[in-house]
Amino acid sequence: MRLDVVSIFPDYLAPLDLSLIGRARRDGLLDVRVHDLRDFTHDRHRTVDDTPYGGGAGMVMKPEPWAEALDSVVASGDSGAVPHLIVPGPGGVPFTQALARSLAAEPWLAFACGRYEGIDERVYEHAAARMPVTVVSLGDYVLNGGEVAVLAMVEAVARLLPGVIGNAESLVEESHEDGLLEYPVYTKPASWTDGGVVRDVPSVLLSGDHGAIAAWRHTQRLARTAARRPDLLPVSGALTPEGLAEVELRPATPGDVGELLTLTHACWLKEGIANETLRVPAMHETVSSMAASLGEWQTWVLRSGGRLVGTVRGRVAGEGDWYVGRLGVAPDLQGRGVGRWLLARIEELAPEGTRRLVLTTGAKSEGNLRMYKKAGYRIVGRDDPVGTVELAKPLRR
């Protein structure tokens, strides 16, 4: 792959000589050429900027040096070939792993590093008349120029090229490839005494039980993604239960506990009545027990128009079991398929290696039993003294 970078600070791109990118260049996998924009000026001061028309703060990059620099890059290629020009800018399309992948498939990329308040708009027109042009943003914050963005983009693109990273496997098992953040990683020593504090590697990782390790890692990935990047979770996006307005499914946070407790009491009071008992744990939940449960379960809350209208939670139980619990829908919204929808969402969150979905309900909870059976669950056990039944369904993936 060929890369051309135009900048008024060519030294800023010196890191492209280092590490994996530097080796890829020496191995002939990457042909990187950095150009000084000032080499395409013709005045004594090598001027690249001027004041903005219409007024306002700062300076704007002049069009003529840019047009000359880009024409010179194009002219240096094979006849007929043009690069895909990437212009870093805070107003560009987001730079993502998907964009990195598509750029990695191109034979020739050129990067135009702006500075000051940006580049005269006519440069984009000049370039677009000659080559594909994409304005790309690294993220929603403001940099002083495009150079840092180019370093990041070139690193993300180059490591995807065949031969740049020796171990192709390390490319697959990564966050942003399958939409979840990475699980935490550990190395030796298994027990590290850190100035008096003993810090142990989680014991499951030393167990040699590959199924248990996979389940633990999946739970860690979900918990991290829920805490740091809830926007990435598959359930938070376009999927919505029919007939509910402005729905939002999110991991429960401590701020949800008050409403969650109210919803839980409202839903499970009905269960107590149907089963003629007060021995329904959800009825006895308190603010503090509910808050503590958030650390033991992956608990989700469904809001509609800001109102908390549903909940469900899951956790890894026995070997290969994903235990679903506390599926509840606000009493006035029951019977519309919202519970069935929540059940489907929590089923999707079962970790890799799950063989069974398991849940418990009241032996006399007719409505629940009907819904679970329709969803493919079968009774696999009864606790007659307590009055509950255990239901399970095999998971095929």
3-class secondary-structure state, position 90: strand
Number of residues that bind ligand JQB (CB under 6 A): 17
- Tokens for 129? 């008349």
| Stretch of 13-21, 85-93, 297-305, 375-383 lying at the interface with ligand JQB (CB under 6 A) | 85-93
Between 54 and 208, whose beta carbon lies closer to ligand JQB?
Answer: 54
CB of 12 to ligand JQB, least distance (A): 12
Q: Does 134 bind ligand JQB (CB under 6 A)?
A: no
Of positions 115, 217, 221, 313, contacts ligand JQB by CB under 6 A = 115
Q: Does 65 bind ligand JQB (CB under 6 A)?
A: no
Q: Does 57 bind ligand JQB (CB under 6 A)?
A: no
Beta bridge partners of 322: 316, 357
Angstrom distance (rounded) from CA 157 to CA 363 = 57
3-class secondary-structure state, position 192: strand
Angstrom distance (rounded) from CA 303 to CA 2 = 49
Handedness of CA 40, 43, 44, 48 (dihedral sign): negative
Beta bridge partners of 302: 249, 310
Q: Does 310 bind ligand JQB (CB under 6 A)?
A: no
| Stretch of 16-24, 62-70, 142-150, 234-242 lying at the interface with ligand JQB (CB under 6 A) | 142-150
Angstrom distance (rounded) from CA 276 to CA 152 = 63
Between 142 and 172, whose beta carbon lies closer to ligand JQB?
Answer: 142
CB of 118 to ligand JQB, least distance (A): 4
Q: Does 143 bind ligand JQB (CB under 6 A)?
A: yes
Between 84 and 250, whose beta carbon lies closer to ligand JQB?
Answer: 84
Q: Does 339 bind ligand JQB (CB under 6 A)?
A: no
Angstrom distance (rounded) from CA 145 to CA 118 = 8
Angstrom distance (rounded) from CA 177 to CA 347 = 21
- Tokens for 75? 């002219």
Angstrom distance (rounded) from CA 58 to CA 296 = 54
Q: Does 362 bind ligand JQB (CB under 6 A)?
A: no
Angstrom distance (rounded) from CA 389 to CA 379 = 7
Q: Does 88 bind ligand JQB (CB under 6 A)?
A: yes
Of positions 34, 108, 109, 146, contacts ligand JQB by CB under 6 A = 146
Binding site for ligand JQB (CB under 6 A): 88-90, 114-115, 117-118, 137-139, 141-146, 149
